[in-house]
Structure 1
Amino acid sequence: MADRRRINGPVGTTLPPIFDRPSPPRDRVENPENAIRKIFLKTGVTPSASGSAYLELESPNMTSPSNTSLKLTCTVHGPRALPRSAPFSPHIILTTHVKYAPFATKQRRGYLRDSSERDLGVHLETALRGAIIADRWPKSGADIIVTIIEGDQDRNAPENQRDDCWDMMNVLSGCITVASAAIADAGIDCVDTVAGGVAALVAKDATSSPSIVLDPAVADYHKIHAACCIAYLPTRDEVTNIWFKGQLPGADVMLYNNMVERALIACRNANRVVVTALKKTINAEQEAS
């Protein structure tokens, strides 16, 4: 039996990735605070899977490639019939599996999933369930496997630096985006392409006042007070999952709403990359046929 979780190498030659920054509307071009890091997204990277995708974020400091970056790969297996012994289900059953590679972070990861990886899997399943038309495949199942090749951490940070796992927000956002592209590549019907986005309340140094930024690179800021990760369906204008972490000064509701609105901007920017990657895949298949 073939190992469905093994990442197979490319069949042919490979080329270095070319990052594609999503083009924001004209009223946001001159505002760098509304921009996210450059994203490289490609579908169909694993021929043995029903659908697959690879996502990579540009390192904020290109002169030091060992700094923070994010590399994810996702494979989708299914839909396929459930065993006869399984109870009847009127909708498709999703199984999400998120796993860090042992070398993905500064501290080496184990081969068994820990609590943080299980939490990422639960959030990913919630985000995707709102996008898939589940009643199209009764008594069927689909496995969505996301492998984190490189986490969004600063590998040059000192050992005594406190780690509050803020990088998990960017990891979850990338997992949602790459899984959405892989699901579309597998031909599973969805109401819309779901995309992930992150907004955070950060302080650039010890003396500056906190401000809200999009797609924060943890290594670039002195402190992160709070962060919000959202899974969003742009066409339907619906939110399928929200994960908020941290504390806002004075429990300011207006500040929370502002963070959510900024996270939605990041989701719209990431969705443009997903749509562009899927269009390129369709055009390539049409040219090949």
Structure 2
Amino acid sequence: MPGDSRRIAGPEETQNPYSFVKDKGDGEQFLLLNKEKLRADGRATDKVRPVFLKAGVISQAKGSAYIELDKTKAICAVYGPREVIKKEDFSMKGQLTCDFKFATFSCRYRRQHQQDNEEKDLSVLLLEALEPAVCLHKFPKAQLNIYLTVLENDGSVLPAAIMCASVAIADAGIEMYDLVTACSARISGKNILLDPSDAEEYRSQHTATEGLESGSLTLGILPSLNQVSALSSKGEIQFETIEKAIKQCTDCCHKLYPVMQECLVKAVKAKMSEKGT
């Protein structure tokens, strides 16, 4: 209506913005490896993306951490231990609660503000990976709240979340048996790609289009104790291939372990310098 100052002037026709977005590998023409056996970003099959990890990034939280795996970015905050208010949740051992959430702008398509089924499943997997590493008997009748938010999703969000949350718990001063390191792998036939990007990750239609064993695997371990805390897989994969992928992921986790240790050392030095000690 002309003359209406409250109305925003806009075009009469609109178009879907995703029509102008370049395909990131959802189609059948996407190739995991080129003729030189390299991936789209130039990495070899056994190479992981650069890792950036920092602890103590949220001043209001008891412990916090921030992680980057190239374009995959996540931040975690830890609060507690807090007293369990509900009587039905009483336990002489401490409890962990994990809240995994994608930011609305983190993915190619806008996410909802409320948790969907995928985020609930990832919350459970994150909880199962962290529980074996935390000394729950040290804070009876209390719970530790972990909130993780993915700021940008470019694949391998679960391993990034596990490492970020593990460092955040240690930064909060919670006693742990060991840090939890994690790595994921994309399996396509005889090819095992460590730390897959979003375009390389397994989707349900890949098994039908590729016509061979295809899937993905995520492994979380306690390196010092040499124990597995999390193992999940999906797709159609032979046992021999899974065994080979687990060995490669284990080697990758041992390489990432010093990065997490160095991150905590820097965080402790920063806290000591602030206190003047």
TM-score range, shorter chain: 0.7 to 0.9
CA distance in 1, matches of 2:107, 2:125: 20
**How many angstroms does 1:83 deviate by?**
1.8
- The answer to whether 1:111 aligns with 2:123 is no
Residues 258 and 81 (structure 1), Cα distance of their counterparts in 2 relative to 1, 3 Å cut = same
**How many angstroms does 1:274 deviate by?**
0.9
CA distance in 2, matches of 1:221, 1:195: 20
The one-letter code of the counterpart of 2:193 is: V
**How many angstroms does 1:221 deviate by?**
8.3
**How many angstroms does 1:219 deviate by?**
2.5
The one-letter code of the counterpart of 2:110 is: R
Residues 242 and 84 (structure 1), Cα distance of their counterparts in 2 relative to 1, 3 Å cut = closer
Partner of 2:166: 180
CA distance in 2, matches of 1:227, 1:220: 10
Report the TM-score, using the length of structure 2 for normalisation.
Answer: 0.76
**How many angstroms does 1:35 deviate by?**
3.0
Report how many residues are paired.
224
Query: Would the aligned equivalents of 2:153 and 2:198 in 1 still touch at CA under 8 Å?
Result: no
Name whichever of 137-146 and 215-224 sits farther off.
215-224
Pairwise CA RMSD: 2.0
Superposition map of 1:29-68 within 5 A: 33-58=45-70
| Structure 2 residues without counterparts, runs of 5 or longer | 1-42, 208-213
Partner of 2:179: 193
Report the TM-score, using the length of structure 1 for normalisation.
Answer: 0.73
- The answer to whether 1:211 aligns with 2:223 is no
Partner of 1:144: 146
| Structure 1 residues without counterparts, runs of 5 or longer | 1-30, 59-68, 153-166, 203-208
Q: 2:228 aligns with which of 236, 239, 243?
A: 239
Query: Would the aligned equivalents of 1:215 and 1:266 in 2 still touch at CA under 8 Å?
Result: no
Residues 287 and 88 (structure 1), Cα distance of their counterparts in 2 relative to 1, 3 Å cut = same
Residues 142-196 of structure 1: per-residue CA shift (max 9 Å, x gap)? 11000011111xxxxxxxxxxxxxx4xx111111000000000000100000011
Partner of 1:275: 261
Superposition map of 1:248-267 within 5 A: 248=237, 252-267=238-253
The one-letter code of the counterpart of 1:235 is: S
Report the identity percentage. 33
CA distance in 2, matches of 1:84, 1:228: 37
Residues 96-142 of structure 1: per-residue CA shift (max 9 Å, x gap)? 00011111111111111000000000000000001001100100011
Query: Would the aligned equivalents of 1:228 and 1:245 in 2 still touch at CA under 8 Å?
Result: yes
Partner of 2:82: 80
CA distance in 2, matches of 1:39, 1:246: 27
Query: Would the aligned equivalents of 2:186 and 2:200 in 1 still touch at CA under 8 Å?
Result: no
**How many angstroms does 1:236 deviate by?**
0.2
